[in-house]
């Protein structure tokens, strides 16, 4: 039996728990690490507020997708025991326990730490009864003019059934009484989702700040939850009735997508219908204010069909995603220091052209390894596509689009190219989760401009980050290529840490041509030279590299496996890493999110170390390095690309990794992982029991090195040195 399929030992369910950590628990632990940053008083205060918002948003998606999917599989009888050895019901119960603990802790951090500290800086999140009479009067005017017209109170009685509660909407459960009949009634008021979560109160000139937080004095900013303003004016919504009580609540629903793709021509229509169905998915979580009356709660539980374990009582205000409004305040002293990206030095130096910033000319000189956001996306990848669209010698542009911004210059460049008569192909992944509606809109806009739009291969999401430009030159056609780890999204490129390769290497050009032909046509037997492509060759190719390191170690030669990922769950890959560890190969894993590896287990994984780094930027790049530091750079195999080590990436998506061959680039990526794994770098360490421990201070209490600051400083130093030359 080959090493690619041979397990470490019999994967009996009773033993599975000793090999693999549970995926869902690991995700919750990731979000707990986000929460630790919100708790960290060494982080700038407004950034702590932002981490609270990120935690809330992350958990919403977890319930909408992972919990909802698990519940659906249990209900349909297709759920199976997890790789960690837990039965589906055990996983669901474990999620409930951990989620209750984390949500309660999240609320405590806000109410007991972040909120009081914000108040000390003149930034207050206050309730209605804490406002002055003058402030209440001005907000009454704003309510009457800007909120009241868009509210729709819905009564519940024999003539009005319990209304549909949309997912993630914030609502008020209201009990009113008819003074004539003394009869009590239930009503629901939905907080309009298009209005800001928190309303600002301008106390400077006595003029209402309305709903624009940018008008508030940044040194004395007061925010009121919008539901407080609505609650204070419920008598205007129910004239003639007595308002007895009101309580805020929020429902999370199943919002994962299920689309049958038997007929690829109807995929767009099928997805649109599924997006409509998503609005009516079953509830998976009910959040209620902790002071909610028991009778009101019983009514909500009964009508929504949730269980007691799915009810989360929390101190108001609910839905702290809106803290992004607070975090965006113009208080530079309470935020991370300003960060300015720079143009990569290889795009400006040694390029023989009269046009500064000529990306195509720079690519003809050398391969360029980009590291965003330190290297500007707009002056590299975006400029590459914009210049290609405007270049009369460019004949064709082909690109994958998974997620992009609403006002994307990338999409505009493709449209310009098509209108200029170039052949333009866009592989648009309209099933990119929670971006489906936006991608449908962009797909239609591209089609109307004459772009050839296809939706990839039936049954597979196209997640690879690829762009190919074909240009007519004096000596024939030349192909210019970009392969990256992140989406073609200029907005997230300023916040996500990603890598990308710009190259005119003919082998990469041939590989991308073949891959695009496979995505747009029929080419199932395609082979590649510098690419590893899922679902056919990526897992096998990486395992082959791991086996090669095992062979080196068994022969007494230096060996090493080093990975940087968002998530690692795939059991086949993990078992290969376990075999490497057992053969004496040092294995280092830098993982941002989910990790099913159990490191440091004697006889199984004692040579495996796992670190996680979270910070100002979202660590998003994927790097695969094979070869120890004692080996020559030329003998080190290195890839970057779009794939994480999860079943969906390896089996159900089109993913691409490109081999990095320039020794200087390999050294740069090796140095990146060196810093990440160094004990002097602030990070979270995963132990053999599955517990993450944060290491961010030395024994004497001094802060450890911040990876992202160190990378920024290293690149700035390189640029200064290059300028002196």
What is the C-alpha to C-alpha distance for residues 431 and 439, in angstroms, rounded to an integer?
Answer: 8
Dist CA 102 CA 111 (whole Å): 14
Sorted by sequence, the CB contacts under 8 Å of residue 168 that are 6+ apart come out as: 60, 64, 193, 250, 251, 252, 253, 319
Q: Name the CA dihedral angle for 132, 134, 136, 142, rounded to a multiple of 10 degrees.
A: -150
Residues near 361 by Cβ (< 8 Å), separated by ≥ 6?
A: 351, 352, 353, 355
DSSP notation for 258-283: ----SSGGGHHHHHHHHHHHHTTPPE
Q: How far apart, in whole angstroms, are the C-alpha atoms of residue 623 and residue 642?
A: 9
Q: Which two tokens stand for residue 170?
A: 């914030």
Report CA-CA distances (Å) from 556 to 3, 52, 527, 559, 584. 19, 49, 33, 9, 10
The dihedral through the CA atoms of 357, 358, 359, 362 has a sign that is negative
Tokens of 683: 């990070």
From 246, 344, 371, 463, active-site residue: 463
Rounded CA gap, 497 and 373, in Å? 6
Q: Which is it for the CA torsion 393, 399, 401, 404, positive or negative?
A: negative
End-to-end CA distance of the chain: 56
Cα gap 545→543, rounded to integer Å: 5
Q: What is 300-346 written as a DSSP string?
A: HHHHHT--GGGEEEEPSSP-GGGHHHHHTSS-GGGSPPP---B--GG
Structure tokens at 489: 């999204």
Q: Is the peptide bond before 306 cis (omega within 30 degrees of 0)?
A: no
What helix, strand, coil percent values describe the chain, rounded to 5? 40, 20, 35
d(CA 314, CA 470): 57
Question: What is the rounded CA–CA span in Å between residue 127 and residue 138?
Answer: 15
User: How far is 34 from 614, CA to CA, in rounded Å?
Assistant: 7
Among 683, 714, 709, smallest CA distance to 697 is for: 683
Instruction: Give the position of tokens 């409930």.
Output: 96
In Å, how far are 138, 173, 174, 318, 319 from 315, measured between CA atoms? 27, 16, 18, 7, 11
Alpha-carbon span 409 to 558, nearest angstrom: 47
Query: Could you tell me whether strands 683-686 and 692-695 are parallel, antiparallel, or unpaired per DSSP bridges?
Result: antiparallel
Q: CA of 150: how far to CAs of 68, 344, 397, 541, in Å?
A: 31, 49, 45, 57
- How, if at all, do strands 561-565 and 683-686 pair? unpaired
Is residue 463 flagged as an active site residue?
Answer: yes
Residues 6+ apart with CB under 8 A from 407: none
Q: Which residues have a Cβ under 8 Å from the Cβ of 664 and sit 6 or more positions away?
A: none
- For residue 116, count CB atoms less than 10 angstroms from its CB and return exposed for 0-12, middle for 13-18, buried for 19 or more: exposed
Active site residues: 463
């Amino acid at each position: 039996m080959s090493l690619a399929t041979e397990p470490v030992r019999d994967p009996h369910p009773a033993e599975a728990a000793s090999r693999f950590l549970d995926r869902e628990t690991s995700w919750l632990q990731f979000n707990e690490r986000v929460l630790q940053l919100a708790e960290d008083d060494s982080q700038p205060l407004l950034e702590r507020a932002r981490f609270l918002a990120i935690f809330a948003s992350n958990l919403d998606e977890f319930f909408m997708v992972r919990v909802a999917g698990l519940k659906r599989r249990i209900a349909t009888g297709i759920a199976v025991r997890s790789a960690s050895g837990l039965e589906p019901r055990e996983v669901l119960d474990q999620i409930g326990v951990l989620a209750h603990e984390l949500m309660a802790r999240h609320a405590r951090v806000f109410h007991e730490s972040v909120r009081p500290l914000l108040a000390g800086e003149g930034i207050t999140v206050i309730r209605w009864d804490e406002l002055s009479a003058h402030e209440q009067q001005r907000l009454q005017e704003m309510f009457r003019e800007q909120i009241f017209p868009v509210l729709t109170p819905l009564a519940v009685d024999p003539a009005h059934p319990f209304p549909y509660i949309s997912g993630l909407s914030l609502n008020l459960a209201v009990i009113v009484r008819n003074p004539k009949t003394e009869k009590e009634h239930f009503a629901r008021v939905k907080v309009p989702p298009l209005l800001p979560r928190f309303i600002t109160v301008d106390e400077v000139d006595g003029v209402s700040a309305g709903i624009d937080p940018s008008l508030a004095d940044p040194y004395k900013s007061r925010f009121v939850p919008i539901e407080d303003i609505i609650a204070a004016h419920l008598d205007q919504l129910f004239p003639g009735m007595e308002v007895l009580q009101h309580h805020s609540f929020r429902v999370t629903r199943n919002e994962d997508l299920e689309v049958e793709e038997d007929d690829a021509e109807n995929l767009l229509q099928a997805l649109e219908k599924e997006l409509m169905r998503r609005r009516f998915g079953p509830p998976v979580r009910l959040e209620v204010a902790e002071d909610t009356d028991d009778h009101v709660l019983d009514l909500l539980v009964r009508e929504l069909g949730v269980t007691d374990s799915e009810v989360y009582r929390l101190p108001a205000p609910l839905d702290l995603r809106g803290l992004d409004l607070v975090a965006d305040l113009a208080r530079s002293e309470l935020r991370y220091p300003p960060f300015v990206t720079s143009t990569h030095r290889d795009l400006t130096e040694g390029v023989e052209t009269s046009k500064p910033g000529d990306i195509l000319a720079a690519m003809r000189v050398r391969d360029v390894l980009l590291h965003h956001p330190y290297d500007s996306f707009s002056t590299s990848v975006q400029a590459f596509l914009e210049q290609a669209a405007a270049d009369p010698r460019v004949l064709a542009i082909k690109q994958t689009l998974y997620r992009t911004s609403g006002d994307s210059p990338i999409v505009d460049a493709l449209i310009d190219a098509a209108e200029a008569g170039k052949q333009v192909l866009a592989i648009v992944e309209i099933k990119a989760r929670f971006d489906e509606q936006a991608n449908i809109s962009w797909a239609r806009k591209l089609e109307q401009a004459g772009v050839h739009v296809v939706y990839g291969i039936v049954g597979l999401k196209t997640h690879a980050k690829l762009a190919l430009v074909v240009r007519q030159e004096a000596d024939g056609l030349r192909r210019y290529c970009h392969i990256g780890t992140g989406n073609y999204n200029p907005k997230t490129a300023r916040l996500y840490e990603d890598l990308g390769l710009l190259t005119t290497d003919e082998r990469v050009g041939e590989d991308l041509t073949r891959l695009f032909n496979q995505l747009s046509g029929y080419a199932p037997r395609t082979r590649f030279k510098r690419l590893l492509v899922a679902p056919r060759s990526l897992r096998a190719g990486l395992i082959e590299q791991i086996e090669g390191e095992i062979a080196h170690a068994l022969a007494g030669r230096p060996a090493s496996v080093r990975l940087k990922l968002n998530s690692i769950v795939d059991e086949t890959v993990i078992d290969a890493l376990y075999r490497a560890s057992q053969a004496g190969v040092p294995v280092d894993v830098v993982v941002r999110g989910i990790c099913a590896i159990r490191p440091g287990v004697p006889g199984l994984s004692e040579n495996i170390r796992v670190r996680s780094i979270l910070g100002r930027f979202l660590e998003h790049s994927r790097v695969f390095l094979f070869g120890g530091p004692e080996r020559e750079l030329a003998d080190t195999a290195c890839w970057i690309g779009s794939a994480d080590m999860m079943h969906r990436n390896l089996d159900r998506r089109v993913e691409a990794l490109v081999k990095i061959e320039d020794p200087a680039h390999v050294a740069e990526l090796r140095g990146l992982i060196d810093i990440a794994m160094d004990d002097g770098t602030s990070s979270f360490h995963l132990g053999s029991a599955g517990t993450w421990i944060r290491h961010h201070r030395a024994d004497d209490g001094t802060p450890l090195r911040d990876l992202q600051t160190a990378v920024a400083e290293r690149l700035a130093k390189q640029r200064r040195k290059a300028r002196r030359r």
